[in-house]
Amino acid sequence: MAIFSLTSPILAIETTCDETACAILSPEGAILAETVHTQSGHAALGGVVPEIAARAHLALLPDIVAETLGKSGLALAEVGAFAACTGPGLIGGLIVGSNYAKGLAVALGRPFLAVNHIEAHALTARLPGLFAHDIKFPYLLLLVSGGHCQCIAVKGIGDYEKLGGTIDDAAGEAFDKVAKMLGLGWPGGPALERLAREGHSDAVALPRPLMGREGCDFSFSGLKTAVARQIAPYGMEALPRPVAADIAASFQRCVCDVMADRARHALALLPKAQSLVVAGGVAANGAIRTALEALADEAGIPFVAPPLRFCTDNAVMVGWAALETIRAYQDAGQALEDGIPTAPRPRWPLTEMVPPGNAM
C-alpha cells in the first residue's frame, strides 16, 4: 500500500461536470502546468447532459493529461501521486476522471487520493501566491455555483460545518433559468450580468426570499417565479431590450442583496471568522463580489475572492486540496495511506469529512 509524501509533483484531474481538467503541482503547491477544456456542445441543449458530458470526458482526458505533462516538462514516471474529484458531481464524469487517475496510479505504483469537490473549492483561497497574506482558519466560505449555494465554516482541513444552504435552486441555476427566460441562452450567468449593466436595478419590484430571516439558508425558486410573471404579459413576443435589461438588473440586485444578508447571518454564527471567502462559478459575477466585499468591510475582515479562472471548476484546486490533506496528516503525525474510500459519490457532504487528527 503506497504512502503519500511531499517530495514529488502531484497530478490532479477534475471531471465533475462539463470541465475536463488536469493540473500538475509541485509539493509546495506551485502550478507546474494546467489545462482546462470546457465542453461547448451543451449550449444547444440548454444545459449539461450528464451522459454526453461523461462521454466527452472519456474522449478528451488522455490528450488533456498528455498536454499537461508536456507543458510541465515532466515524464509521467516523475509524478509522485495522483488525485481526482470523486464527488459530489455527475456520476458519469466522476467515474471517468477518478478511474483514469486511479489507473495511472496503479500502473506506476503511486498513491491515489480521492478529493471532495466542495472541499477543493473551499481551500482554493489558500493556494500559495494568490494573496499577499495567508488565509487563516477559521473562515466563512460562501460557495455559489450552478449546483451549490452554501455557507460553510471552514475550521481546518477536513473540519467543516455547513451553516446554511439552498432549500431549492442554487444561485447559478437561478441565473441560468432567468437568462433563458430572457432569451439569453446557456450558460446564462455571464450574459445576464452583461445585460444587467444596461438596466436599472430598481426598475422592477421583485421579492428577496428569506432576507432578514434567522439563519443563513437560501431560496431562489420564488424569485424565478416572480421574474416569469413579469415576462408573461409579453407572451411569445421577444422582450424589448430595455425591459429585459431592467429585469436582469433587478434580478441581479435581488440576488446580491440576499447573498449579503445570508452571509451576514452566517458571520454572526462564526464570530471568529478571519476572512469572508467566496468561491464557485457565480463568484465570477462582479456585482455579487462588490456586495460581499462591502459586507466584509462592514465586518472588519478581509474579503477573499480567487481569480476568476479558479472560481470555475479546475484541476489546480483538486491538486491543492490533496496537498493540503497530505500535509495535514503529516502535521498530525499520521501516515496517509492509499486505501481511503475512493468510490465516486454524486453526493458527498463536507460534514462527512474527518480532520486528520481524528482519523482512525
Q: Which helix H or strand E contains 152, and what residues bound it?
A: strand 149-156
Q: Please report, for the chain, how many H helices and E strands are present, in that order.
A: 10, 10
Decide if 79 contacts 109 (C-beta within 8 A): no
- Ligand-binding annotation for 144, yes or no, is yes
Residue 200 labelled as part of a binding site: no
Grid coordinates belonging to 237: 413576443
Q: Is 117 annotated as a binding residue?
A: yes
Is residue 333 annotated as involved in ligand binding? no
Report yes or no: 259 and 292 within 8 Å, Cβ to Cβ. yes
Return all residues near 55 (Cβ < 8 A) that are at least 6 apart. Answer: 92
Using DSSP's 3-state secondary structure scheme, residue 317 falls into helix
The helix, strand and coil proportions of the chain, stated in percent and rounded to the nearest 5, come to: 45, 20, 35
d(CA 160, CA 336): 20
Looking at residue 141, its amino acid is: L
C-alpha angle 3/161/155, rounded to 5°?
Answer: 60
Please check if 87 is assigned to a binding site.
no
Residue 341: DSSP 8-state? -
Q: Is 212 left (phi over 0), alpha (psi -120 to 50) or beta?
A: left
* CA 112/CA 103 separation, integer angstroms: 9
CA dihedral 208, 213, 217, 219 (to 10 degrees): -30
26, three cell numbers: 509541485
175, 282 Cβ separation under 8 angstroms: yes
CA distance 197 to 27: 43
Q: Does the annotation flag 73 for ligand binding?
A: no
Q: Is 145 annotated as a binding residue?
A: yes
Is 133 annotated among the ligand-binding residues?
Answer: no
Annotated binding site: 117, 121, 143-147, 176, 189, 193, 285, 313
Annotated binding site for Fe cation: 117, 121, 313
Annotated binding site for substrate: 143-147, 176, 189, 193, 285
